[in-house]
Amino acid sequence: MLRHLKIAIFVLVISVIVSCNDDDPKPFKQTVNLIITHKWKDSALKLNKENYWDRSFRIDTISVNNIIYHINNLRLKTTDSLIVDAHSQYYMVDLLQNKTFPQDIAFETPLEGVKYYICSIEFTIGIEDSITNLKNTLSTLFPNPMYSDSIKGYINFNFEGYSNKINSIKYKVGGYVNPYKNSRRIKLTLNKPFLLNRYNTLSLKADIFKLFKSKNQIDIETLNYVEKPDNDSKKLAENIATIFSVESFK
């Protein structure tokens, strides 16, 4: 009788242990959603609304009708040199449609049960590869990938706006051949490493004011139309490389 009781207790203990093990958390892959907030200095950018640029000798007003740009080869880097790539290689952001094509930008860690300490994000604005440009290979991925005959390739960054002084502002920044290779690789480093949870959101800020004033100062009265690779498009490309910064990671 006592022996049977001991066996019963043993079976019960084993059952409890197995049950507890079944409830233990399983390893999981971490995901990161990327959000890009477009601003004019520190204010949210609103389409078809006047933005002001006080240049001391005059005040310019610039209204944005639309901005479309290619952003690709996005990757997160960790403190121990691990890489987390975005789901797709190529994306295109369209402010007027308030949409990112072909889908929202997101990352998923390749391994389960690994601690990822993210220290930076890298991405390219524009299409760098000459074969992709020449063969127009992105036409199967995007409904309108901004292919330009004058560039013989893709527009990396398309700005459409107006000012009360010169009316229309149109910048079609592209080019993939020297001396006007106008795509730009951008690296943003976090203030401190961020340990990924299961679900995470990385927020970037894109300050469109810096398109006009950063590395180069753009005078919209003399430079308001660009449609092919040249020295003016190169100045704009250099400014585009400065507009992005990290807002938060949570």
- How confident is the model over 154-172, as pLDDT tens digits? 999 999 999 988 889 999 9
* Residue carrying the six token digits 């049977």: 4
Question: What is the model's pTM?
Answer: 0.88
Q: What's the mean per-residue pLDDT of the chain?
A: 91
Domain containing 100 equals 30-249
| More confident: 164 or 88 | 88
| Cα angle value 159/49/148 (rounded, 5°) | 15
SS3 10: helix
Kindly state whether residue 112 falls inside one of the protein's structural domains: yes
How many domains does one find in the chain? Answer: 1
Q: Return the pLDDT at 57.
A: 82
Burial of 181 (0-12, 13-18, 19+ CB in 10 A): middle
Kindly state whether residue 128 falls inside one of the protein's structural domains: yes
Q: Is the pLDDT of residue 67 over 60?
A: yes
Kindly state whether residue 24 falls inside one of the protein's structural domains: no
Q: Is the pLDDT of residue 130 over 70?
A: yes
Q: What pLDDT, in 10s, does the model give residues 11-38?
A: 444 444 444 444 445 788 999 999 999 9
Alpha helices in the chain (DSSP H): 2-23, 130-135, 231-240
Q: How confident is the model at residue 55 (pLDDT cuts 50, 70, 90)?
A: confident
Kindly state whether residue 2 falls inside one of the protein's structural domains: no
Q: Which two tokens stand for residue 212?
A: 């006009």
Q: Is the pLDDT of residue 5 over 80?
A: no
Kindly state whether residue 20 falls inside one of the protein's structural domains: no
* CB 183, CB 157: distance < 8 Å: no
Q: Return the pLDDT at 25.
A: 52
Q: Return the pLDDT at 19.
A: 44
